[in-house]
Amino acid sequence: MKQDKLTDKNLEVMMGTLLRYGVLLSAFIVMIGGILYLIKFGNQQPHYTHFSGEPANLINLKSILNDAKGFHSRAIIQLGLLVLIATPIARIILSVVGFILEKDYLYVLITLIVLTVILFSLFSGSVA
Amino acid sequence: MTILSFTLILLLGSFIAGLLGSLTGLGGGVIIIPMLTLIFQIDIRYAIGASLISVIATSSGAAAAYVREGISNIRIGMFLEIATTVGAVLGAILAAYTTTSYIAIVFGFILLLSAVVSFKHKEEIILNPANSGKLGKWLKLNGTYPNEKGKEIPYGVAKVISGFLMMMVAGLVSGLLGIGSGALKVIAMDNFMRLPFKVSTTTSNFMIGVTAAASAGVYLERGYIDPGLSMPVVIGVLVGAFVGSKLLVSSGTKFLRILFAAVIIFLAFQMIYNGFTGKI
């Protein structure tokens, strides 16, 4: 029991560290993209009054990565936002590993269910 | 207005929203969407996308601190995340079939509920772990948390099934409106499950990031998440919430809560009115 408590504490510290660096990394990427975006498009007009949806290249993971590599400012921001979305998901994957190490199989199962729901959302959005 | 000035104004507005949300504990999301739609005339779908992203940022940032201090109950969090993520995905799918006017009206009512919940007198009676139900014990939900003096206080969990169902509703609202729906989570965790306040607020925060990430996938693919708009919102809210967390000790929070609740009630009626007249 005492051993369990120790691992729970370790897991909590690891989760905290992961969340912190995830948010910081994301904010850093978003800011770089943001500065480039303002330099390039700063004197144009914003239009958000009517919804037209984002172009396909800012929705698809592959093209976001590709465009970000080519220093497209909006794709860099989008990449930062993806890092942010991935942060809580990474926390869940860490929890699965943690609960396996703790041999708490009930919670391995519970955590895997949560992970499945999120991955379903990420990869079936185009179907829905 | 150019994109540069638009971005700077949004940055400032989001900073204030994040600051107030953090100081009052109501979260910045409830103020971001009305600000974007009512003041900046931004389509509510873009507003929901940007708000959802900012919700992930602030909750992950805050949870990073709480979880290290051992206040959040990660087992309760993980178990209830089944409910909130399923609800969030359903909510995000439902949003596609709901007109923006209805979304604005529902948003207004949730705002009113948030204001009421923040004012309701709360009584904290910590449940003896021995009196927890069978399900709570089987799921190992009982825990301990450190009080002001650093002493570990044991607590039990009541009405796990009602709490779980209420959490599914909270997830649904979060997915539909792009907010953290803290008010509904408080009802589930404080009123039904009888968790100590410190545990419920921090555990709720812990779950919000995962819940929002679940609906973010659907919104991203639907093109609601715009980089140019999300950039100032997420940075502004994040910095505001961080500054707010450092100011927390101030004694003026009661006045701030009243002010913030008044603003929320005003925004709620605006959203409902605009929804009914079809302006949103």
Mean pLDDT in order along chain B per 10 residues (280 residues): 93 91 75 92 94 92 82 92 96 92 95 83 79 88 84 90 95 93 86 89 88 91 94 94 74 71 90 91
pLDDT tens digits for range B62-109: 888 888 778 889 999 999 999 999 999 999 999 989 999 999 999 999
Please report the residues numbered 42 through 71 in chain A whose beta carbons come closer than 8 angstroms to any beta carbon of chain B: 42-46, 48-51, 53-55, 58-59
- Interface check B25 vs A, CB under 8 A: no
Q: Of B120 and A122, which is predicted with more confidence?
A: A122
Q: Quick: pLDDT tens for A18-76.
A: 999 999 999 999 999 999 999 999 999 998 988 988 988 898 888 899 999 888 999 99
Min CA distance, B124 vs chain A (Å)? 26
Radius of gyration of chain B (CA): 18
- Alpha carbon distance B165, B144 (integer Å): 24
Identify the pLDDT of residue B116: 85
The number of C-beta contacts closer than 8 angstroms across A and B is 195
User: Which pLDDT does position B253 carry in this prediction?
Assistant: 64
pLDDT value at residue B250: 54
- Which pLDDT value is given to residue A6? 54
Among B1, B217, B231, the residue with its CB nearest the CB of A122 is B217
Question: Which residues on chain B are in Cβ contact (under 8 Å) with A88?
Answer: 56, 60, 209-210, 212-213
Alpha carbon distance B150, B67 (integer Å): 16
CB distance from B218 to chain A under 8 Å?
yes
The model's pLDDT over A63-110, given as tens digits with 9 standing for 90+, comes to: 899 999 888 999 999 999 999 999 999 999 999 999 998 889 999 999
Instruction: Assess: ipTM above 0.85.
Output: yes
pLDDT at A128 over 80: no
Structure-token match 């989008």, residue found: A78
Residue B248's pLDDT is 58
Contact residues for A46 (Cβ-Cβ < 8 A; gap 6+): B1, B2, B3, B6, B228, B229
pLDDT at B31: 87
Residue A31 in contact with partner chain B when CB distance is under 8 A: yes
pLDDT tens for residues B129-161? 888 888 888 899 998 888 878 788 899 999 999
Nearest CB to A87; choose among B46, B86, B209:
B209
| Alpha carbons B204 and B181: distance in angstroms, whole number | 10
Shortest CB distance from B213 goes to which of A30, A85, A113? A85
pLDDT computed for residue B249 by the predictor = 53
From first CA to last CA, the distance across chain B in angstroms is 21
